[in-house]
């Protein structure tokens, strides 16, 4: 395929009807998600998450930049608390466990999917 053909095949915008998307279970207990964008080739994705009060995102590492905008509730870890209307980003190599004491709805932009790690204090 020529560059011109590839350019013609690439949409100039993809509109996502988020309100009519189904929530699907996430791999974190007490959470649901809507995947707004995903590129399996690069690992990039944008995901809308909703986590129940008391949900915990287990110890994990971000192999690349991760960006989170909190829409409702709060997300907290040992570094701080991100409340509704606020933003937190984490650099490549960062590790943490996140808690949602009051529940949270957030949009997360992953440069690569996070890596689950064994719980702290285990091999």
- Domain chopping of the chain, boundaries: 22-116
How confident is the model over 27-50, as pLDDT tens digits? 888 899 999 999 999 999 999 999
Q: Which two tokens stand for residue 86?
A: 């606020």
Q: Which superfamily, per CATH, for 22-116? A: Jelly Rolls (2.60.120.10)
Question: What b/e sequence results for 72-85 when a residue is b if at least 16 CB atoms lie within 10 Å of its CB, and e otherwise?
Answer: ebbbbbeeeebeee
- This prediction's pTM: 0.86
Which residue is listed with tokens 């984490």? 90
Q: Which two tokens stand for residue 43?
A: 């690992």
How confident is the model over 73-104, as pLDDT tens digits? 999 999 999 999 999 999 999 999 999 999 99
- Residue 96: how many CA atoms within 13 Å on its side-chain side? 17
């Amino acid at each position: 395929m020529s560059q011109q053909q590839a350019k013609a095949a690439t949409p100039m915008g993809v509109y996502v009807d988020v309100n009519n998307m189904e929530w699907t279970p996430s791999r974190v207990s007490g959470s649901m998600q809507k995947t707004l964008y995903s590129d399996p080739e690069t690992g990039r994705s944008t995901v809308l998450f909703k986590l129940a009060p008391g949900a915990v995102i287990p110890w994990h590492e971000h192999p690349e930049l991760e960006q989170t905008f909190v829409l409702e509730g709060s997300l907290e870890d040992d570094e701080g608390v991100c409340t509704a209307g606020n933003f937190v980003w984490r650099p490549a190599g960062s590790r943490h466990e996140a808690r949602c004491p009051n529940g949270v709805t957030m949009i997360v932009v992953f440069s690569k999917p996070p890596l689950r790690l064994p719980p702290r204090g285990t091999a």
